[in-house]
């Protein structure tokens, strides 16, 4: 596949000005120059475009964050998780120590870097919940942590499997999986709430589907 | 407690221009007029300010979305879940049908409104994951759905309990809980990933804490 900019736009669904912007920002590698005013693009550009659009539209990432996430896919798997987490929204509060979050992960027995961006986000999220007077006890944290751990075990298990099979690059899987599976989890949680609400506070046959 | 604007700012940590903006936008109810150029504020303003800041800073909501979420706390509990979900980010794709998402919730046996905003988000999230070639099979969806259902059962169970005890307004709990517990769940998922990675791909004693 060798296409011009206009065909790349038609294939990908992104507009020509958007593609030019991504090229200028380095989110998309340059095409192969075929004349002074023309370049050719290939399948790798279509794939990269899909990825960039997914990160921006579904992941809610800024252009700067997309750059960092793409850069994170270039490092080794050891660093990929931390780097990806640091690059992802929402913005992280200043450096630790994150006292409340540290207490939580220690109670859970999780071995994690306590100065990481994810710790900062947990600290901020806990503070926000408390500040508006919502419940935040050990039972609630335990329920959430169990669910998070179950999902993480699945995530990491699949990544390991994929790596073994060479089907998908493991680093790419971890980095993109973090951002792109989050909306799936949140959407499912909201739907599960509706479902459980329906079970508990039955609204009668009028609303049955 | 009866305070002037400057003291409200000092107490809440929000700046005077920010508070004036919230007053103009209706996110904060007006104070009690005490003279042509002075108004007094009370504890309810401090609480509302905390809530608005939490929704914006941690929930990542826009001012418009905060308005919708606050409006949702005024309706009955039956409608609160759907209204809150519709008001929350990220932006929802156009109206359904959401074929892929419908198949998922039917396979799960969940009774939900298939034209809801949460269904739209699930459809969008699934499409994004597929578009970049990440795995998305029944096993993965099952793992995510189980975790989401466990959290939702906890959420709704607590809301019911709180309502019975009158401790927290049930609608407020559901609406705020949806947006403010999400960052807790996501931060825990990222930390759980780090923890599980550490277990599986041990990096040796050099990185032990």
ipTM exceeding cut-off 0.90 for this assembly: no
- When scoring B50, B112, B149, B192 by the number of chain A Cβ atoms within 10 A, the one with the most, hence best to mutate, is B192
For residue A34, the distance in angstroms to the closest alpha carbon of chain B comes to 28
Top mean pLDDT of A44-48, A136-140, B26-30, B53-57 is at B26-30
Pairwise pLDDT comparison (B149 vs B128), residue with the higher score: B149
Hey, are the CB atoms on A189 and B185 less than 8 Å from each other?
A: yes
Checking if the pLDDT of A207 tops 60, the result is: no
Q: How confident is the model at residue A172 (pLDDT cuts 50, 70, 90)?
A: low
Pairwise pLDDT comparison (B148 vs B174), residue with the higher score: B148
Q: Decide if B40 contacts B31 (C-beta within 8 A).
A: yes
Place of tokens 């709180």: B162
Hey, are the CB atoms on B156 and A186 less than 8 Å from each other?
A: no
| Nearest CA-CA partner of B134 in A197, A182, A68 | A182
Report the distance separating Cα B7 and Cα B16, nearest Å. 9
| pLDDT score recorded for residue B102 | 94
For residue B130, the distance in angstroms to the closest alpha carbon of chain A comes to 10
Pairwise pLDDT comparison (A73 vs B15), residue with the higher score: B15
| pLDDT score recorded for residue A163 | 45
Nearest to A122 among B180, B188, B209 (CB): B188
For residue A35, the distance in angstroms to the closest alpha carbon of chain B comes to 31
A149 contacts in chain B (CB < 8 Å): 192, 195-196
For residue B197, the distance in angstroms to the closest alpha carbon of chain A comes to 7
| Sequence-distant (≥ 6) Cβ neighbours of residue B120 within 8 angstroms | B92, B93, B94, B95, B96, B98, B101
Rounded to an integer, the average pLDDT of A159-188 is: 67
On the CB side of B19, CA atoms within 13 Å amount to 24
| pLDDT score recorded for residue B204 | 44
Report the distance separating Cα B185 and Cα A182, nearest Å. 10
| Nearest CA-CA partner of A82 in A125, A118, A122, A110 | A118
Rounded to an integer, the average pLDDT of B173-189 is: 80
| pLDDT score recorded for residue A208 | 38
The values of phi and psi at residue A41, to 5°, are -125, 160
**Mean pLDDT (chain A, rounded):** 78
Rounded to an integer, the average pLDDT of A94-122 is: 87
Checking if the pLDDT of B116 tops 90, the result is: no
| pLDDT score recorded for residue B158 | 67
Least confident of B9-13, B16-20, B104-108, B197-201: B197-201
Count of CB atoms situated within 10 Å of the CB of A2: 11
Across the A/B interface, how many CB contacts are shorter than 8 Å?
A: 280
A200 contacts in chain B (CB < 8 Å): 156, 160
| pLDDT score recorded for residue A138 | 86
Checking if the pLDDT of A35 tops 70, the result is: yes
A204 prior amide bond cis, ω within 30: no
| pLDDT score recorded for residue A94 | 63
Least confident of A50-54, A138-142, A182-186: A50-54
Q: What is the dihedral of CA B39, B45, B50, B55, to 10 degrees?
A: -100
Checking if the pLDDT of B82 tops 90, the result is: no
All structural domains of chain A: 1-57 (1.10.1660.10), 58-205 (no CATH)
């Amino acid at each position: 596949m060798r296409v011009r900019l206009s065909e790349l736009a038609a294939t990908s669904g992104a507009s020509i000005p958007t593609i030019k912007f991504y090229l200028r920002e380095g989110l998309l590698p340059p095409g192969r120059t075929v004349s002074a005013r023309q370049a050719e693009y290939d399948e790798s550009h279509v794939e990269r475009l899909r990825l960039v659009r997914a990160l921006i539209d579904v992941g809610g990432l800024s252009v700067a964050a997309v750059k960092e996430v793409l850069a994170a896919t270039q490092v080794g798997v050891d660093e990929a998780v931390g780097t990806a987490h640091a690059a992802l929204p929402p913005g992280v509060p200043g450096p630790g120590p994150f006292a409340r979050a540290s207490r939580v992960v220690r109670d859970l027995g999780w071995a994690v870097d306590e100065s990481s961006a994810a710790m900062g986000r947990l600290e901020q999220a806990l503070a926000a919940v408390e500040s508006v007077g919502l419940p935040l006890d050990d039972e609630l944290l335990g329920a959430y942590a169990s669910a998070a751990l179950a999902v993480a075990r699945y995530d990491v298990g699949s990544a390991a499997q994929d790596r073994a099979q060479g089907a998908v690059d493991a680093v790419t899987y971890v980095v993109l999986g973090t951002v792109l599976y989050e909306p799936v989890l949140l959407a499912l949680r909201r739907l599960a709430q509706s479902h459980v609400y329906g079970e508990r506070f039955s609204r009668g046959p009028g609303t049955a589907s």
